[in-house]
A and B are shown apart, each in its own frame.
Chain A
Amino acid sequence: MTEPLLRIENLHKTFGKLEVLKGIDMTMERGDVTSIIGSSGSGKTTLLRCINLLEDYQDGVVAIDGDQIGYRTQNGRRVRRPERQIAAQRAMTGMAFQHFNLFPHLTASRNIMLGLVKVRKMPAAEAKEIAAHWLTRVGLGDRGDAYPGQLSGGQQQRVAIARAVAMAPKLMLFDEVTSALDPELVNEVLNVITDLARDGMTMLLVTHEMKFAHDVSSKVVFMHQGRIAEAGPPAEVLRNPKSARLAEFLKGAKF
């Protein structure tokens, strides 16, 4: 049996006394597009942040391509990996944030180049070409010299996605990437993601856009109070919720 691209087993995460993830199990194969839905505070963001180690976790396993992320087991004990290894493991996943988090002092093009040059050790000229390629892919081929502050929210988010994808991550994580945007800018960003999905990129996304989740995902996961309450193909989960809670959550959603 081959190892799945992402394997999460019995993941537990606490903030002080507050247990936010109470034993998450899930796997993703290459090319999967999984959407996580769930009400506020159910732990969706925290789950993504554990996968790229922006949060540490107390128990369980997160493995990408068979490598346990952030920790290894030594003499039966769980030890945190050294900083360099963690940085390298973070580069296996890309992350797009709700608030874009572009580097404001760098142009769109240089935002994308930074990781290529400093992490992938690529010559600047090559990095610049890759940046230009991805900017074109997200429809911003002519805005490479613009600074984030000179771009609209939708454009910034597309640059941010290009910055993450240009690193050629094995898995892309999207955390409510459209929820900080004006309604008229949402579609330009969703189109970029749809385009990446068609390309075969493996993606795990947290979203409140039910129609988008329905159309683009191969699987939908419903989180409730730190657990996965329901999971399955979008048509099943979204159209025939098993639990009253999910039915309640989906009330009024159109897809």
Chain B
Amino acid sequence: MDYNFNFAAVWRDFDLLLSGLALGLALAMVSIAIGCVIGLLAAFGMISRRRLLRTVSSVYVTTIRNTPILIIILFTFFALPQLGVRLGKIESFVLSLSVYAGAYLTEVFRAGLVALPPGLREAGLSIGLTEFQAKRYVTIPVMWRNVLPSLSNNFISLFKDTSLAAAIAVPELTFYARKINVETFRVIETWMVASLMYVITCYVLAEILRRVEHRLAIPR
């Protein structure tokens, strides 16, 4: 095979790829933040004594986890407007990704909460904290630190999933790569560069998050 590599076209539009990468990271960050809030609420729903809350939470988790993420993205973007909910491309994608992340994080948080020794909450109550304060100052912070490694993995996964936003023309990395591909026909070069950008970003993210985990870990 004597293919002549020519990256010139890709380099010319490299700033587009970079801006796409930045948008992807931002989408993942906002979505995991919202997903954490949803996940925490749904996790407490799952372990609630109230049956209604348990049902609502588990229907949410089961439905979302068993739906392909691309379907969630397309449904939110194309079907919600028919139901009168109009969102921009980016908002629509963030909504999809947050709801998707929330379902997975619900399981992470639920498992983290039930794994805590019951004595932790009771010690909080015994010094006079209310149930809410015991959650806020004791059980949630401890659980949070324990699940940080899972959170990191979820974040990296979510970042990769942002490439699906190309399907609704959100201008992130994959979207621009396809654009450059179509405009220049440097197919191999374009996708090689885009893939490498994902690989390097994920690798660096994993390293950074590992250090953050280490820093926030409960000392022992």
Contacts and interface: CB of A to CB of B under 8 A. Distances in A.
B122 A119 contact: no
What bracket does the count of chain B residues touching chain A fall in? 20 to 34
A129 B127 CA distance: 18
A96 to B, nearest CB: 9
A147 B129 contact: no
A95 B126 contact: yes
A115 B129 contact: yes
Contact of B218 (A87, A99, A149): A149
Given A83-B130, A104-B218, A54 B120 contact: no
Contacts of A147: 218-220
Nearest to B139: A103
B64 interface: no
A84 B130 contact: yes
Contacts, number: 79
A105 B145 contact: yes
Interface string B106-129: 000000000001011011111111
A213 interface: no
Contacts of B220: 104, 147, 149-150
B141 to A, nearest CB: 5
A164 B127 contact: yes
A163 B128 CA distance: 12
B138 interface: yes
Q: Which of B117, B123, B130, B137 is most buried by chain A, counting CB atoms within 10 A of its CB?
A: B123
Given A87-B125, A87-B128, A103-B123, 12 more contacts: A53-B125, A54-B122, A83-B130, A87-B129, A90-B128, A97-B122, A102-B123, A104-B218, A104-B220, A147-B220, A149-B218, A160-B123
Interface of B: 117, 119-120, 122-131, 133, 137-138, 141-142, 145, 218-220
Interface of A: 52-54, 83-84, 87-88, 90-91, 93-95, 97, 99, 101-105, 114-115, 118-120, 147, 149-150, 160, 163-164, 167
30 contacts: A54-B122, A83-B131, A87-B128, A87-B129, A87-B130, A90-B125, A91-B127, A94-B127, A95-B123, A97-B119, A99-B117, A99-B119, A101-B119, A101-B120, A101-B122, A103-B123, A103-B142, A104-B218, A105-B145, A105-B218, A114-B138, A118-B137, A119-B127, A119-B128, A119-B129, A120-B128, A150-B219, A160-B123, A164-B126, A164-B127
